[in-house]
């Protein structure tokens, strides 16, 4: 069948699917009853009836809602085909009651039904609140309740001595007034419980965040502080530890994380962090813009890292500036220190650091490197990597 | 972050032009430290630990420069700036914070601070920054220049020109770029063949534009683009 209703019912009740299907077919013969029932069940059977965790076992109690709904539908069908006078009205009402009760009954999960049985007055609320899809639940619940109440009042009216339409209308109005009264009484309690629940959930979320923060502080900050206490006399070590800790805390607080393997800015910052940790200096990194890495960009990052290492080794300063900018047609990196500086013309040919790792590497990948330095005025290494037009547009089209 | 872009200044004289500085910070230890370190250079005329206290005492003492903490429990530096700016336009504010996130930096500058430095700054550099701000100049860290460049950078995927937003001129962007590269004002002047005063004018214009573009939430924009 179309909507998997038969399978759903079968799973729900723990009986073979075939039997359900046969039952539907047989009922179909009774002036289309099967079709009506099918539609009704389609409307009320939950989407995933059998919880996989709970072993399906036969529970006669679970049949009750279906029987009630079925009874209601059956009666409605009878009414449609031959409704006769007051008895017909009564039949209608009974049908309405049956459907309403069935819907209410069905909406409660088996365990909850058991809870209801254990302690009657309060768990109703509990059941209301525990329902995950609360609004839909309340809607159905109230709808079912209205159906039942209308039905009961109607029955009373039909069989009361007055036996006229006025009585029925009055009865219905009374029922509605009664329901409204119950609503007014119950609403504040419901509302309060709801609020309580919400604040509890918020509290839980906050607690979770706190726990995460506490774990982070414990794993990193406390350990770093312990290390600092032990190495208190070693200024270099203390500075290195404190700097690393500051960086990781800052990243944790302010920065969205990106993979250094994929993004240029992340790769550059990781390189700068490594140099900071290795040489116990501060790298002031400012990166404007970002892009994906490729082989050439990776080479640029490597050259920049080498320039940082040189500055850390030879400049004799505590702070090195790193500035990188990503533009549509080029990526540039500047590494600047205010250290001792040197005369680039006097660098001997056998010194490979600058020539191979920076200038040569940039040239191999289609970029260029410039080194500006004068004794006493520090050094700036400029690395420029042009991005070919087509690659730039490809990047843009992404 | 050290403020490299400022040339070291000789300790301010002890004469009548000694700068009057006010400290706003909710950490008493930090105030004591700053007072001890700055005492040789300037005259600390008062301290406050809350926004309300700061507003009252600044109005009473009329200092030249207020060193302003960004994050305080009851509203922070921004609340102080907003309360004071109209009534006391002659008081200059220098933000001093542990945070160097773009939102804090640009938020404070837009509220009217003349500069922004982080608490890792050395005492000498802090004194130089205070002196600069008192003279009417801006104090820009390389990182702040980077944020501004980032926010104004013409990206392929961003609207290239927004008529609502005061665009930075090419020259201003060039100055910012050099600042971000760690150049001092003096070095920028030499690099671009302009005078130091012109560099300062450009930087002041950038600050002014940050404040003027109030129709455009620059900081939020930057955050949305994950520039923070």
Confirm if A79 and A91 have CB atoms less than 8 A apart.
Answer: yes
Distances (CA, A) of A116 to A68, A126, A222: 19, 9, 50
Whether A288 and B181 lie within 8 Å, measured CB to CB? no
* DSSP letter, residue A345: G
Give the whole-number percent of chain A exceeding pLDDT 70: 57
Structure tokens at B103: 């939102």
SS3 at position B150: helix
* pLDDT for res A303: 92
Chain A interface includes B158 (CB < 8 A): no
Q: Do A284 and B4 touch (CB under 8 A)?
A: yes
**Among A254, A289, A392, beta carbon nearest to B228:** A254
In a 10 Å sphere around its CB, with 0-12 CB exposed, 13-18 middle and 19+ buried, how is residue B218 labelled?
buried
Query: A-chain residues within 8 Å CB-CB of B153?
Result: 288-289, 325, 327
Q: Using DSSP, state whether A283 is helix, strand or coil.
A: strand
Left (φ > 0), alpha (ψ -120 to 50) or beta: where does B22 sit? beta
Mean pLDDT of A322-344: 88
Q: Residue A266: exposed, middle, or buried by beta-carbon count in 10 A (0-12, 13-18, 19+)?
A: buried
- Give residue A328's pLDDT: 84
Tell me which chain A residues have a C-beta less than 8 angstroms from the C-beta of B142.
284, 286, 321, 323
CB atoms within 10 A of CB A162: 12
Query: Is B44 within 8 Å of B38 (Cβ atoms)?
Result: yes
Q: Each residue of B47-80: b (16+ CB within 10 Å) or e?
A: bbbbbeebbebbeeeebbbbbbbbebeeebbbbb
Enter the DSSP assignment of B46: E
Give the minimum alpha-carbon distance from A373 to chain B in angstroms, rounded to a whole number.
13
Confidence of residue A315 (pLDDT cuts 50, 70, 90): confident
Q: CB contact, 8 Å: A380 with chain B?
A: yes
Decide if A237 contacts A278 (C-beta within 8 A). Answer: no
Contacts of B4 in chain A (CB under 8 A): 284, 319, 321, 338
Cβ(B185)–Cβ(B6) below 8 Å: yes
pLDDT in tens, A27-65: 666 656 666 666 666 655 554 444 444 444 445 555 566
A positions 215-274 inside 8 Å of B (CB): 250, 253-256
B105 in contact with A at a CB cutoff of 8 Å?
Answer: no
For residue B189, give both structure tokens.
Answer: 């002047």
Cβ contact B182–A336 (<8 Å) = yes
User: What is this model's ipTM?
Assistant: 0.73
Q: Where are the alpha helices (DSSP H) in chain A?
A: 5-13, 17-29, 33-44, 60-81, 85-107, 110-118, 123-130, 134-159, 165-216, 223-230, 235-254, 264-279, 295-310, 352, 361-364, 389-397
User: What span, in angstroms and rounded, lies between the C-alpha atoms of A308 and A85?
Assistant: 97
Adjacent-strand bridge partners of A319 = A282
CA B106 to chain A, closest CA, distance in angstroms equals 15
Any CB–CB contact under 8 A between B228 and chain A?
yes
Bridge partner list, A332:
A325, A384
Neighbour count for residue A194 (Cβ, 10 Å): 13
Contact B146 A380 (CB under 8 A): no
CB contact under 8 A, B149 and A325: yes
- pTM for this model (two decimals): 0.58
Q: List Cβ neighbours of A107 (8 Å cut-off, separation of 6 or more).
A: A131, A137, A140, A141, A144
Burial level of A184, CB count in 10 A (0-12/13-18/19+)? exposed
> How do residues A120-138 score in pLDDT, each as one tens digit?
444 444 444 444 455 556 6
Per-residue model confidence (pLDDT) at position B118 = 83
Read out DSSP for A212-252?
HHHHHIIIIIIHHHHHHHHTTT-HHHHHHHHHHHHHHHHHH
Does the beta-carbon distance from B146 to A287 stay under 8 Å? yes
Q: Sorting pLDDT into bands at 50, 70 and 90, what band is A324?
A: very high
Contact status of A321 with chain B (Cβ, < 8 Å): yes
Q: What residues of chain B score a pLDDT lower than 70?
A: 1-17, 153-167, 212-228
CB contact under 8 A, A254 and B101: yes
Query: What is the per-residue pLDDT across B142-192, written as a single tens digit (0 to 9) for each?
Result: 888 888 887 776 544 444 445 445 567 888 888 988 988 888 888 899 999
Mutate to test the interface with A, among B5, B181, B184 (most CBs of A within 10 A): B181
What is the distance in angstroms between the Cα of B99 and the nearest Cα belonging to chain A? 8
Judged by CB atoms within 8 Å, which residues 161-180 of B form the interface with A?
A: 177, 180
Q: Check: CB of residue A363 under 8 Å from CB of residue A385.
A: no
Q: How far is A231 from chain B (nearest CA, A)?
A: 21
Residues 6+ apart with CB under 8 A from B97: B69, B70, B71, B77, B104, B108, B116, B118, B119
Task: Name chain B contacts of A336, Cβ cutoff 8 Å.
Answer: 181-183
Q: Give the position of tokens 């573009």.
A: B213
Token pair recorded at residue B97: 């914070």
Q: Model confidence over A70-116: pLDDT tens digits?
A: 666 666 666 655 555 555 566 666 677 777 776 666 655 555 545 44
């Amino acid at each position: 069948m179309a909507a998997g209703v038969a399978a759903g019912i079968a799973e729900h009740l723990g009986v073979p699917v075939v039997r359900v299907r046969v039952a539907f077919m047989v009922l179909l013969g009774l002036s289309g009853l099967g079709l009506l029932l099918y539609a009704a069940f389609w409307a009320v059977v939950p989407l995933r009836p059998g919880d996989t965790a709970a072993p399906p076992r036969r529970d006669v109690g679970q049949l009750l809602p279906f029987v009630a709904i079925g009874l209601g539908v059956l009666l409605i069908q009878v009414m449609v085909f031959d409704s006769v006078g007051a008895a017909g009205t009564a039949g209608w009402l009974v049908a309405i009651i049956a459907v309403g009760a069935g819907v209410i009954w069905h909406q409660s999960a088996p365990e909850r039904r058991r809870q209801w049985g254990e302690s009657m007055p309060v768990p109703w609320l509990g059941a209301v609140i525990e329902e995950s899809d609360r609004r839909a639940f309340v809607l159905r619940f109230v709808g079912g309740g209205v159906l039942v109440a209308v039905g009961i009042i109607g029955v009373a009216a039909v069989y009361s001595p007055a036996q006229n339409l006025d009585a029925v209308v009055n009865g219905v109005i009374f029922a509605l007034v009664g329901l409204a009264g119950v609503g007014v009484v119950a609403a504040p309690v419901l509302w309060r419980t709801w609020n309580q629940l919400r604040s509890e959930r918020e509290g839980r979320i906050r607690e979770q965040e706190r726990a995460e923060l506490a774990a982070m502080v414990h794993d990193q900050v406390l350990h770093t502080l312990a290390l600092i206490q032990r190495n208190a006399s070693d200024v270099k070590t203390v500075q290195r530890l404190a700097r690393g800790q500051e960086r990781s805390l800052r990243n944790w607080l302010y920065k969205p994380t990106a993979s250094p393997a994929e993004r240029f800015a992340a790769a550059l910052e990781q390189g700068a962090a490594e140099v900071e940790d290795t040489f116990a200096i501060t790298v002031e990194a400012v990166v404007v813009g970002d892009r994906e890495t490729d082989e050439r960009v990776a080479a640029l990052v490597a050259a920049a890292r080498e320039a940082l290492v040189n500055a850390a080794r030879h400049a004799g300063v505590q702070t090195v500036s790193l500035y990188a900018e990503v533009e549509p047609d080029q990526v540039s990196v500047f590494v600047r220190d205010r250290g001792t500086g040197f005369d680039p013309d006097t660098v001997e040919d056998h010194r490979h650091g600058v020539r191979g790792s920076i200038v040569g590497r940039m040239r191999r990948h289609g970029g260029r490197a410039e080194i500006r330095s004068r004794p006493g005025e520090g050094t700036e290494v400029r690395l420029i990597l042009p991005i070919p037009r087509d690659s730039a547009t490809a990047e843009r089209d992404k | 972050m050290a403020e490299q872009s400022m040339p070291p200044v000789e300790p301010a004289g002890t004469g009548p032009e000694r700068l009057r500085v006010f400290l706003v910070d909710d950490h008493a230890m930090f105030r004591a430290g700053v007072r001890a370190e700055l005492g040789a250079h300037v005259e600390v005329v008062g301290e406050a630990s809350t926004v309300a206290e700061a507003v009252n005492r600044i109005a009473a003492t009329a200092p030249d420069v207020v060193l302003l903490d960004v994050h305080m429990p009851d509203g922070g530096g921004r609340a102080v700036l907003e309360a004071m700016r109209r009534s006391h336009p002659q008081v200059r504010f220098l933000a001093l914070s542990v945070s160097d996130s773009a939102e804090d930096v640009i938020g404070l500058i837009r509220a009217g601070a003349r500069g922004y430095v982080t608490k890792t700054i050395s005492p000498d550099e802090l004194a130089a920054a205070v002196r600069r701000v008192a003279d009417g100049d801006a104090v820009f860290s390389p990182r702040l220049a980077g944020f501004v460049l980032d926010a104004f950078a013409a990206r392929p995927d961003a609207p290239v020109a927004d008529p609502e937003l005061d665009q930075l001129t090419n020259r201003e962007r060039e100055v910012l770029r050099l600042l971000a590269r760690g150049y001092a004002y003096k070095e920028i002047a030499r690099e671009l063949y302009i005078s130091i005063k012109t560099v300062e004018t450009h930087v002041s214009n950038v600050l002014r534009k940050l404040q003027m573009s109030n129709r455009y939430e620059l900081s939020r924009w930057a955050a949305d683009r994950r520039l923070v």
